[in-house]
Every structure is written in C-alpha cells, then in structure tokens.
Amino acid sequence: MFKNYLKIAWRNLMKRKIFTAINILGLAIGFGSSILIYLFLSHHLSYDNFHENSDRIYRFVTEEHRDNIDYEATVPPAFANEFRQNYNYAEKVAKLAIWENTQLDFELNQQKIQVKEDMLFAEADFFEIFNYPLKEHISTRSLEEPNTAYVTVDMAQKLFGNSNPLGQTMRLDNMETIEVIGVLENFPRATMLEEGLIISFETLKKLDDFAGTEVWTGMTTSLECFALLKPNQDVDAIETALLELPKKHRSTSKNRHEYQLQPLADVHFNPLYGGVDPTLLWAFGIIGLFLISIGCINFINISTAQAFYRSKEIGIRKVLGSFKNHLFWQFLSETFVISVFALGIGVIFASLMLPSFNSLFQTELYMESLLSVQFFGFVALLLILISFLSGSYPGILMSRIVPVLALKGKLNHNDTGGSSTRKVLVVAQFAISIILIAATLVISRQIDYAINTDLGFDKESIVMVKIPKELEAVQLESLTNRLDYISGVEDVTACLSSPGGSENRWGTGVKYHNRPEYEEFSMQVKLADLNYLNTFDLELVAGRNYFKADSITEVLVNEKFGKKIGVNNPEELLGKKFEANGGYVKASIVGVVKDFHDGDFTQEISPIFMAQNPQWYDEIALKINTQNISTTLTQIKGTWKDTFKDYIYEYNFLDDRVEEQYEEEQRYLSLSKIFSALAILIGCLGIYGLILFYVGQRTKEIGIRKVLGSGVANILALFTADFFKLILIAGVFATPISWYLMEQWLQGYTYRTEIHWWIFAVAILSIMTITLITISYQTIKAAITNPIKSLRTE
Amino acid sequence: MLLQLQNIFKWVNSGGQRIFLLKDINLKVKEGEFISIMGPSGSGKSTFLNVIGMLDGFDEGSYDFLDESVHQLKEKHRAKLYKEYIGFVFQQYHLLDDLTVQENLEMPLLYKKLKGAERKAMVADMLDRFNIVGKKDLFPAQLSGGQQQLVGIARALISSPKLLLADEPTGNLNSKQGEEIMELFKQLNEEGVTIIQVTHSEKNAAYGKRIINLLDGRMI
Ligand SMILES: Nc1ncnc2c1ncn2[C@@H]1O[C@H](COP(=O)(O)OP(=O)(O)O)[C@@H](O)[C@H]1O
Ligand SMILES: [Mg+2]
C-alpha cells in the first residue's frame, strides 16, 4: 500500500512542478538551516564532555562584592596552593595561565624563525585532571620542571614542520628558553583549550608574571584554577569552608571575595564567567524553528489551496473503497516524499553554507560530524515532524471532501476549506519576517550607536604599538621623542592602555581625602605620561595635568569618581589627598577629566584615576596625520625596531579595537540579516505559490472586470490589497512582540539606542514592497491577458 | 431480496423553502434484476441512484440492503457495505488520470488489503475479460471514450459486487460504443450481476427487464 502511495505521490508531484518546487525549496532552506543550527548547537553542547571525570571537575571562580558584585573566572594566585595544602576535598588541583600572542624564537634547519603564538602555562596535574592524552614524550622529563613544554601534533607541524618536535628549544619572549618534551594528541574540537603550546607552570614563576606569584591581594583573569574533587563531595559545604580564606588573607580589603566552585559543564555556558551566552543558542534554535515553520506554512497553504483541484480524485477514491484514513495517509506520504527531497537538498545547502557559517561564528564545524546516531535520530524526527506538521491539516481537509459533491463538480474553492487557515498562516509568516527585520534594524542601530557615538576620547587615526619589554624611563622617553619626531606623527604617549577599547583593565581600591576607610567601589587605573590627554584629546574640566615627576605625587581623576564619592563640583576635588592600591599610590588630585567610555556600552563608565609610572607602560599610542599614512607607519616601525631589535613589530588602530568590542553584536547582526533574508525568501516562495493559485481561481473575475473597463493597475491593486491587509495584521502582532524582545536585548546595554516606531514601519513597508514585487509578475500577466480568452474557457 | 426502499423522501432547504428531490419512493430489487431508470433532466435520477448507492443520504423513509437497515447504520458501516457490494459506473468515467489502466483497476483491491499476487491475478483476469490487455500501461487520456468506459466498468466489477449502479454510462459515447456497453451489461446480467442504470435513451432502456420513470423526484 505504502509503495502505491509513494508512486502516486510521485506522479502527483510531477504534475504540479511549480508548486512542488516551491514546497521543496522552502522546506529545503528550512532543513539546511536546521542542519547548520544542529551542528552549531551539538558542537556547543558537546563541550568538554569527553573528560572521564567531568562530573567531578570544577573551576574556582570569585564573586567580588563591592558596591556591586563582579564575577571573575579566576582566584588569587595563592589560592591553589592553600587549597592543596590546607583542605582535603580534592584529588588534584591545577593552575593554568594564558599568555596571548607572545613571541617565540627558534632555529630550524639553520634558519632563524620568529613567530607569535598564544600559549598556556600549566601545572603537571592539569593533565591528570583532564583527558588530553600524550602521543609521545621524553620519558625522563616532566612538566614539573621549569622550561619544559608540550606541543600538540598540529602545533608541532606548524612550528617545526616535519622535524622531530621532541627536544626542540625555543626562546620565549626573549627571556627564557623552553624545551619541547612531549607531543599531545590534537585536542577535540569542542574543548576549552585552544592553545597548542603548553609550558610548565614553573617557567611562569621565572618569567616574573603575576599569575605565577603566591599573593592574595589581587587577581588576573589570565589565571584559571581547576580541581578534581574526591568522589561524593558536597560543593556547598566546600564553598562555606572557603569563606574563611578571605577573612584570613584579605581582611582589610573592601573587595570582599567569595570563592565558588563552578562545575565543568557550566564553564562553557555561563556568560557571567566568560562562557557563551545560552540566549544565543536559544536564539539559534528558535530561528531554526521559525524557518522550518515558514516552509511548512508554505506547504500547508499551497496544499490546501490545491485541494480543490484534487477533489475529483478524492471523490473517486472514496467511492471505490478508500476510507478517510487511507486518504490521510496517502497525503502524508506525499508530504513525506517532498520532505525527503527537501532534506537531500537541505544537506547540500548546509554543506555549501558551512564554510561561511564557520568563518562568521569562528567555529570549525564539519559535515562529517553528521555521521552520528544522534544526527540520524534528529533527521528522522525532523522528517516525521515536518511531514506531520505540514501534511496533516491538508490531509484532514482532503479526507473530509464529500464524494457526491466532488463527483458532481458541485464543489467550489471555499468548500474544500482552509481559506481562513491560510490567512492566519500567511499572517504568521509575515509576522516572523517583520520581527526578524525589526531585530536586524535594532541591532545594527545599537552597533552603530556604540561605534559612532562620541566616546569622550579621540579614536580616529590613532595607532597603538606594544612595548614588548620594560625599558628604563630615559630610554622610553627617548623612544617616544624619536617617534614624535616623525613628520606624520602628531602626538605620542606611552601608557598602560588606551582610554577605551582595551582589554587591559586594572582595578584597585581607593581612599579619598581624609576619609578613614577605603571606598566600597573600585577604580580603573590609567597609567600614562603627560601626553596622554593631548593624544587622546581628553578634556580637563578642572585643574591641570600632572607635572613630570619620578614618582606618583599627582593624579587626575574623572568626573565619575566625583559622583561616586558624592562630590559634584569638580573644583572641590582639587588638592585633595588620594590613596590607592593599598598605599602604593599616595598623591593629591590635581585635575579632573571629563568622563569617557573606558569600557564597551554594556558597561557603565568607571571611576578612573590617571598617574605616571613608566615601569607599567605597555603600549605607545600615536596620533597620526591622515596624509601619507603608509610612510608614517613604515617610519614608526623603523624607529620601534631600532629599540626592540629582537622583537616582532605589531600595531593596530584604536578605532578597530573599539569596533572589536562589538564582535559578538556583529555576529548577532549577521545572524539576523541572514535569517531574515532566508525567512523572507521562503515566505516569498509561498506568496508566489498563493498568487498563482489566486490568479488561477479568479481568471474569470479578472476577465469580467477587464471587459467592464478595469485597468491593469486596478487588478494589481485588487490582489495587492488582500495581501497588504494581512501584512498590516501581521504588523499589529509583530510590533509589540519584537518591541518587547529587542527591549530585553537592549537591557544588556548601559548605553543604548531607543526603539522608535518607525523601525516597525520600515519593517512593514519593506515586507509590503517585497510582496508587491513577488505578486506583480503573475498578477500583471493575468491582467494583460485578453479577457475573451479567459471567459471562453469557462 | 437485494434491497428495498420504502417511502423515501429527500429534500434540501433553500431560502426557507423545502425543495423535494425525491418524493415517496418505493422500490424492491431482487438479485439478478436489470432495471433502467428514465426521466427528464433534473427529475432526480442521479439523486435516486446515489441514495441506492449510499453515496447520498435521505431524510425520510426506510432503506434495507441485504436485510440491513441502511438508515440506521453509522456512516462508517454504510461505507463498508457499499464498498463491499456495490460497483459504480459514471457518465464521466471518473478514472484517475494519473494512473494507468492497470493501476486504475487495481485501486479498489488495494483498499481491500488484498495481497499483491492476488491483486495481479484479478487485474489480469479483468484485462483479459474486457479485451484490454494491450492497453494496460496506457493512461486514461490515451484511450477513446468507449475504452475509458470499459475500464470504468471493469474497475466497478473487479471486486465482484452484487449490484452495479450506472449513471448514464453511455451518455458521453457514440451509439456504436453505447451499444457495445449495453451488450456487455446484458451479458453481465446474465452472469448474475444485478444492474440499475440511468439512461436517456429508450433503446438502451430496453436492455433492462424493468423500467422506472421519474418526474420531479416521484416515480410514475
Ligand atoms: N445537494 C443539492 N442541493 C440542491 N439541489 C440539488 C442537490 N442535488 C440535486 N439537486 C437538484 O435536484 C434536481 C435533481 O438532480 P439530479 O438527481 O442530478 O437530476 P438528474 O440526474 O435526473 O438530471 C436538480 O434540479 C438538481 O439541481
Ligand atoms: Mg443526472
């Protein structure tokens, strides 16, 4: 029977090729997107699920309680040893520190090689906690020793080509020599480790890095600390026990730490601690559903519209012995055939789109990962779901057709039903498209706002160059002077970090004037020489810049600092005592700087102080002339190289850095652009199918109207009006929904654009335009046909 | 007794008025009969036939088919009954355009859940009996009207119904083709099939052993 259904299904589909194509294409796009989304979601959901003891692995994180709570995925550097020695909860504890973009020098086949790589410093126990197997190693050596390293197979290939990686040595940041003593199997794709070079943690101590110290007074996000707990531990009890640590080691700090254990499964999904935002995954899933539903809606609409043309067949079948459920299943098998085709084309779509998808989301998804039981389960489910979703309603409608009427030809289009359902579904399609368009508009306006609003500092034509090693104050000054001498360079400043767009954020507590206690809030520190204000065009609202001095005696603060401590008149701040960083900074306030956005727009402007301390400068900022930029850049590089002969030169533009803060948003934007385009495309296919049907149904009416003198425009208007009504209704539903959703999204931003009514007007109008274009060809074609022709056929 | 209709009334309501399609119909049909129904266009012949065939309902009266009271049966049972015992032949043939001759013949058997081999044998049998073996792979559009009607009749007979209902089976055929169909009916009747046909032609009606005349939904 089923074979017979399939055969008939096939013939029916071939008979109505255009509608079949529309149905298949619409569903195929839905399938294709669903497959990509499936890959994306399963990639994320499979994160770090391969570690044997993953349910006992935890990361230590810190809640910083001040006037607000900050969440940091790290603990003070001394935490790990204390936890190891004084507590008995864990089998293993391991620290991990990341160094990004750090220089490596080595010789390969008598050639000097200089590269920059990201790398990790790890305690040997890290490999006891996690399952990253070694492929080969020098068995007499261990990662416990300083100056040893592991590389992954890929990294070995990248650095040393086909030479044996074991025993190779490299200069690290021109400071220490490290030796490769082991080769790790490549990491699975879904894991937290991305760096293929792992150096012993002991090395870090020699490199004089904060993460390698044993202090309780500060933290760095470059450090992470993991533990493999003994079986059956009560995490809450451990966290309670850990409450004593801050009391013991940080009793005077206004920054009250609470250490917590984050399960490994949460690491990838907790945005508080730098994980991916599950909302993104949800958004993906929901959009996938949207696209599939739009495809199904097309199918339902076209099938129910077609039901009339099949009523005779159904009548005959019923008279010859078919029961309702026969017809229902017959129709469902047609849907199934269509879905299978759509699936095939969807898989092709997905594999064609995958490279662009990967580059957009910086993922490495592979079609091969589809060859899994889960995927086949997913596809089978999708096939059945879609067949039922789109097949059952038309199936029911058709099986209800009364045979006598059908055979007598007494049925008209309304008797086969579904016309009001069609309207509802078309409204739903339009609504989805309007929501997606509105979302696209709001996201792009927010990005535009964040990038193009005056941030309070100058970010145009500013080049940022790293200072790769510490220089004597005099040397540094001579370098900046020489750079300033370049004709294309207008201003130069050496500093810890740029005013905004920098990841180098350093917070510290502060004591103001003669107040007895440190303040609750923390301040951001901007260390820089005297040219900082000029170079970035920062505005003084009171007082003056600091004078040149060998130690920190004078500081500048921003207006926000005044607000935080309750002094609204900047003048009042001048001359007041200022202590920070636990007494390391003791100075007086000499000037107040107008507020600028030091973080991105999700963050509130911080209270900031600025001071000079060459020891801490990390980069040089150069304001350059927009003429002859390339000459200027070459000259800057030359001058820099004179000072840092052994280092790789790198620079970037400040405005790029500011934009990079919104990479995530850019991704959301591309996402909503692509998916609205797809939604609209599938929707248009459906509209095209419907208009074909409507025009067919009303040829006689069109003929009569034409005979009575109606023009092409009138007839176009006749059809357009119907659709526009539906679009307006869709708009009425879509506007509050998308307004609400986008308002929720914008809540994530401290500084945000407003949602205007015209955004929705634009969305609705664009849908109207697209619909008009979609329907006009068929409508105009019908309208210019000689009316006598269409009347005669009746 | 094959079937018996007693005081059958059928009407439709239109604009507050009751329009009678069938009025006080009484009919007994024994197995092996061949009845012709005649009457002017619009007199209710098709409606009458559809009521007998249980494709259509009625509003008053009683109808017994093989000693079952059709009027008391649920729709599903009624459908079962007519599917088992009644074959239909239509003026417009009503073959499925997408199916070949062979597949059209096979279709009623599919709904009866017969096995493939059994179906094949029965179809082959029919093709042979109606002399259309050579046409088995053609689609209806490739056949002449007479041939299509042959297929229609073969399809109606394939599940060996007790009763064959034919609504103007020759209405779309020329007189020679019509005559052939009538000869076929005669032969089928002699083989034991009960036939009720609707026709406009006196000549065709004469093939029946009994003639019923309808006027405005009433037997005269
Ligand atoms: N469902 C219905 N509703 C209203 N009128 C009907 C219906 N079915 C049939 N008729 C009318 O009943 C009369 C008899 O129809 P029909 O049985 O087809 O006549 P015949 O087959 O004798 O030409 C016709 O006038 C027809 O228009
Ligand atoms: Mg009739």
**A408: distance to nearest CA of chain B, Å?**
10
Shared domain for A14 and A66, answered yes or no, is no
Token code pair at residue A613: 């301390």
> Do residues A556 and A592 lie in contact, with contact meaning Cβ atoms separated by under 8 Å?
yes
Nearest 5°: CA angle at A128, between A123 and A129?
90
Any ligand 1 atom below 6 A from CB of B45: yes
Q: For residue A326, list chain B residues with Cβ-Cβ distance below 8 A.
A: 111
Does A458 map to a domain?
A: no
Whole-number Å distance between alpha carbons of B199 and B185: 13
Chain A residue whose CA is closest to B108: A320
pLDDT at A21 over 80: yes
> Do residues A332 and A385 lie in contact, with contact meaning Cβ atoms separated by under 8 Å?
no
Shared domain for A330 and A184, answered yes or no, is no
pLDDT of residue A742: 94
Map A626-669 to HEC letters: CCCHHHHHHHHHHHHHHHCCCCCCCEEEHHHHHHHCCHHHHHHH
Q: Quickly state the pLDDT bin for A315 (edges 50, 70, 90).
A: confident
Whole-number Å distance between alpha carbons of A74 and A65: 14
Whole-number Å distance between alpha carbons of A33 and A730: 24
Shared domain for A60 and A39, answered yes or no, is no
pLDDT of residue A415: 66
Of B124 and A504, the structure prediction assigns the larger pLDDT to: B124
Please name the residue whose Cα sits nearest to atom 17 of ligand 1.
Answer: B44
- How many of the other CB atoms lie within 10 Å of CB of B27? 18
pLDDT of residue A524: 93
pLDDT of residue B139: 93
pLDDT at A793 over 50: no
pLDDT at A310 over 90: no
**B131: distance to nearest CA of chain A, Å?**
22
Q: Quickly state the pLDDT bin for A414 (edges 50, 70, 90).
A: low
pLDDT of residue A217: 87
Secondary element (H or E) of residue A169: strand A169-172
Shared domain for A492 and A631, answered yes or no, is yes
For residue A425, the 8-state DSSP code is H
pLDDT in tens, A183-207: 999 998 889 998 999 999 999 999 9
Q: Which residues are bridge partners to A258 per DSSP?
A: A63
Give the distance, in angstroms, between the CA of residue A784 and the centroid of all CA atoms in the same chain: 51
Radius of gyration of chain A (CA): 34
Determine which of A234-243, A510-519, A785-794 has the lowest per-residue pLDDT on average.
A785-794
Shared domain for A164 and A97, answered yes or no, is yes
Does A439 map to a domain?
A: yes
Any ligand 1 atom below 6 A from CB of B40: no
Please name the residue whose Cα sits nearest to atom 10 of ligand 1.
Answer: B21
Whole-number Å distance between alpha carbons of A490 and A487: 7
Does A228 map to a domain?
A: yes
Give the distance, in angstroms, between the CA of residue A746 and the centroid of all CA atoms in the same chain: 15
Chain B residue whose CA is closest to A321: B83
Shared domain for A743 and A718, answered yes or no, is yes
- How many of the other CB atoms lie within 10 Å of CB of B9? 16
| CA distance from start to end of chain A | 38
Q: Quickly state the pLDDT bin for A456 (edges 50, 70, 90).
A: very high
pLDDT of residue A138: 95
Helix residue ranges, H only, B114-174: 116-129, 145-157
Q: Which of A582, A611, A646 is the last residue of a domain?
A: A646
Mean pLDDT of chain A: 90
Q: Any residues with CB less than 8 A from the CB of A203 and at least 6 apart, and which? A: A121, A146, A147, A148, A149, A172, A176, A178
Please compute the mean of the pLDDT values over residues A218-236 and round it to a whole number. Answer: 94
Shared domain for A234 and A313, answered yes or no, is no
pLDDT of residue A733: 96
Shared domain for A287 and A407, answered yes or no, is yes
Q: Quickly state the pLDDT bin for B15 (edges 50, 70, 90).
A: confident
Secondary element (H or E) of residue B27: strand B17-29
> Do residues A122 and A94 lie in contact, with contact meaning Cβ atoms separated by under 8 Å?
yes
Shared domain for A690 and A571, answered yes or no, is no
Across the interface, of A321, A403, A404, the residue whose CB is closest to B111 is: A321
Q: How many domains does chain A have?
A: 3
pLDDT of residue A25: 92
* CATH superfamily for domain B3-219: P-loop containing nucleotide triphosphate hydrolases (3.40.50.300)
> Do residues A58 and A235 lie in contact, with contact meaning Cβ atoms separated by under 8 Å?
yes
Does A657 map to a domain?
A: no
Determine which of A415-424, A447-456, A673-682 has the lowest per-residue pLDDT on average.
A415-424
Shared domain for A586 and A717, answered yes or no, is no
Please give the full DSSP string across A180-222, using - where no structure is assigned.
EEEEEPPPPSSSS---SEEEEHHHHHHTT-GGGS--SS---TT
Determine which of A166-170, A557-561, B69-73 has the lowest per-residue pLDDT on average.
B69-73
pLDDT at B85 over 70: yes
Across the interface, of A312, A316, A321, the residue whose CB is closest to B83 is: A321
> Do residues A246 and A66 lie in contact, with contact meaning Cβ atoms separated by under 8 Å?
no
> Do residues A125 and A200 lie in contact, with contact meaning Cβ atoms separated by under 8 Å?
no
> Do residues A533 and A593 lie in contact, with contact meaning Cβ atoms separated by under 8 Å?
yes
Q: Using the beta-carbon criterion (under 8 Å), do A321 and B98 form an inter-chain contact?
A: no
pLDDT at B206 over 90: yes
pLDDT of residue A445: 94
pLDDT at A792 over 70: no
Q: Which domain holds residue A710?
A: 2-43+278-449+663-792
Shared domain for A721 and A575, answered yes or no, is no
Does A463 map to a domain?
A: no
Spacing, Cα B168 to ligand 2 middle (Å): 7
> Do residues A226 and A96 lie in contact, with contact meaning Cβ atoms separated by under 8 Å?
yes
Give the distance, in angstroms, between the CA of residue A422 and the centroid of all CA atoms in the same chain: 36
Pairing label, strands A510-512, A540-543 = unpaired
Spacing, Cα A480 to ligand 1 middle (Å): 103
Buried b or exposed e, range A525-564, using 16+ CB within 10 angstroms: bbbbbebbbebbbbeeebbebbeeeeebebbbbbbbbbeb
pLDDT in tens, A668-712: 888 889 889 999 999 999 999 889 888 888 887 888 787 777 788
Q: Using the beta-carbon criterion (under 8 Å), do A407 and B90 form an inter-chain contact?
A: yes
Shared domain for A691 and A618, answered yes or no, is no
pLDDT at A794 over 60: no
Q: Quickly state the pLDDT bin for A208 (edges 50, 70, 90).
A: confident
Whole-number Å distance between alpha carbons of B82 and B89: 14
pLDDT of residue A658: 92
Q: Quickly state the pLDDT bin for A726 (edges 50, 70, 90).
A: very high
Spacing, Cα A8 to ligand 1 middle (Å): 33
Does A629 map to a domain?
A: yes
Please compute the mean of the pLDDT values over residues A373-390 and round it to a whole number. Answer: 88
Whole-number Å distance between alpha carbons of A45 and A537: 46
Q: Using the beta-carbon criterion (under 8 Å), do A404 and B50 form an inter-chain contact?
A: yes
Percent residues over pLDDT 70 in chain B: 100
Does A37 map to a domain?
A: yes
